[in-house]
Each structure stands twice: as C-alpha cells, then as structure tokens.
Structure 1
Amino acid sequence: MPEWITNRFMAPVYALLISFGTALVLGAVMAPDPTPVEPEPATPAALTIRLVARQPAEKGLPDDDVPVTELQGSQVRLYRAASDAKLAVGKDGVITAEPGTGPLTVCVSLPRGWRGAESVQGAAPGSSCWDLPAGQGDVTLVVVKGG
C-alpha cells in the first residue's frame, strides 16, 4: 500500500470525505416529496347574455332577425341561489353580469308584443324566464316579436 494512504496526516481528509459522502447519500434518501403546485384558479369571465330577436313568418316558423333596439332598457332579473340582481338590456340586446356559480334563472320583462321562445312564464306579467345551467360564459336567448 502506498505511504500517502496510511499517513496519519491524511486521516482528517478521509474523515471529511466520508462525512461529505454520508451527507449526500442521506440527503438524497431523506429528501421530502416535491409538493404539487396548485394552479391559480382562473378568473371567470363575465356572463354575457344575448337576446336574438326573431319575427314569426308563415306557419309560425321564425323569419329574419329583427333589430333589438326596441328591447333596450327592458328590465332583467338574474336569480341565483345566493342572491339576485337587477339589470337592464343594453345596446344590441346584450346583458352583461358578474360571473357566478350554480344554476341561474334569467327573467326579462319584455315589452308588449314580444315573447320568449322556449321560455317559461315569469312571476311578473309579460316577463319570460330561462333556466341556465352553471358555468356558461356566453348565452343566446331567442325572443320573438308578435305571435
């Protein structure tokens, strides 16, 4: 065996190397599991409800679109399990509301001569209501002039 291996002055170096190796092995074995990174919840976009106006033609079938300027300013109620909100129909028949969770009921007080297609009768006379499932961002509701 070479003399430098058995030299008494090399003992501290050997102790350092053995300690460093032991620390590396124990660090690798006892390392904590990486914690999963939870993605930030996405900010939900605003709920946009569009009223598309149709005029009945012959045999009760819908015809061309009718300008929805007549509906601007009509009162809208959004009913949720936790709260309800009062809104108004905006320009081009668009209603914008805060996003929410859970099912939603939209009731629109339509002017005389208008009715909601595939809607249920609302609590107030002349209002049509639609039940919307949860988690929708853009919703299109059909209203019919006349009939």
Structure 2
Amino acid sequence: MPEWVTHRFMAPVYALLISFGAALVLGAVMAPGDAPAEVTVRLVAKQANEKGRYDDVPAAELRGSAVHVSRGGEDAELAVGEQGAVTLSRAAGPVTVCVALPQGWTGPRTARGEASGTPCWSIPAGSREVSIQVVKGV
C-alpha cells in the first residue's frame, strides 16, 4: 500500500468522503413522495390601469366563488377562500380547475369551461402551489 494512503493528513479526506456517501444514501431513502399532500391554487387579482399595465388588487371579491375541480374522472366542488386561495387534495395526475368568477372578472389565456364565461386552467401533476392571474375590468 502506498504511503500517501495511510498518511495522517488523509483522515479528514476519508471522513469527508464517508459523510458525503452517507448523506447520499439517506437522501435517497428518505426522499418525500412524488405527489404533494395538498395543492394550493392562488388567484392573483389584477386590475388594468390607465397605462395599460396591471396593478395588484385585493382578492376579497373572489372569496366564495365556486370552483369546479376535475381530475381523472373525479369531480369536486369547492369555493375560493381567504386571500383568493383554494386548497385541493393530493392528485396523482393532471387537474383541471374552473372558477366561476364574479361579474367583471376574466381569466386571460384560459380555456372556457362548460358554464358560459367560466375560465379553466390545467394544473400539472405534482404541483405544490400554483398562481393564476385573474383580471378585473377588462
């Protein structure tokens, strides 16, 4: 065996390598599940200003708006809660969320739901939090 392998200054290097290997093994064993326990969909309320840009507005008007959730043949009816958020249970696949917005609100760049004027969004599988922009007065 070469002398450098047993040299006293190599002990910290060996300790570092062993610690790194242990961290890799523990990280692989204790990794969280693929899907989160809950998915939070947050409606970000905006309003057009005179310069053609969007300003943040409180989401209080959106509270209580009906939310229709479709996922893999299962449907659920929820409502927008405080601060414009909706919390969904775990989903293994993609989820479609449709929100019945109050009069004067729109969801730009969205698909239309079954109900007239109801915007829908597709939420990717494995998402933990998704922000969706809705606009007042456009």
Q: Which residue of 65, 71, 76 maps to 1:74?
A: 65
Name the TM-score, length of structure 2 as normaliser.
Answer: 0.72
Q: Which amino acid is the alignment partner of residue 104 of structure 2?
A: G
Q: Within the alignment, does 1:142 sit opposite 2:133 as a pair? A: yes
Q: Within the alignment, does 1:133 sit opposite 2:132 as a pair? A: no
**Contact conserved, 1:111 with 1:126, CA < 8 A, in 2?**
no
Provide the rounded CA distance (Å) in 2 between the counterparts of 1:65 and 1:93.
Answer: 12
Alignment of structure 1 residues 50-65 onto 2, 5 Å = 50-58=42-50, 60-62=52-54, 64-65=55-56
**Contact conserved, 1:112 with 1:126, CA < 8 A, in 2?**
no
Provide the rounded CA distance (Å) in 2 between the counterparts of 1:55 and 1:105.
Answer: 25
**Contact conserved, 1:74 with 1:88, CA < 8 A, in 2?**
yes
Residues 94-113 of structure 1 deviation map (CA, whole Å, 9 limit, x = unaligned): 10010111111110000100
Residues 43-68 of structure 1 deviation map (CA, whole Å, 9 limit, x = unaligned): 72311000000001235432x21111
**Which runs of 5 or more residues in structure 2 are unaligned?**
1-27
RCO (CA 8 Å, sep 6+): is it higher in 1 or 2?
A: 2
Q: Which amino acid is the alignment partner of residue 48 of structure 1?
A: T
Residue 128 (structure 1) shift: 0.7
Q: Which amino acid is the alignment partner of residue 104 of structure 1?
A: V
**Contact conserved, 2:36 with 2:127, CA < 8 A, in 1?**
no
Alignment of structure 1 residues 1-147 onto 2, 5 Å = 42=33, 44-58=36-50, 60-62=52-54, 64-147=55-138
Name the TM-score, length of structure 1 as normaliser.
Answer: 0.68
**Which runs of 5 or more residues in structure 1 are unaligned?**
1-36
- Larger Rg, first or second structure (1 or 2): 1
Residue 38 (structure 1) shift: 6.6
Provide the rounded CA distance (Å) in 1 between the counterparts of 2:83 and 2:31.
Answer: 35
SS at match of 1:141: strand
Q: Percent identity?
A: 49
Root-mean-square deviation (Å)? 2.0
**Contact conserved, 1:71 with 1:111, CA < 8 A, in 2?**
yes
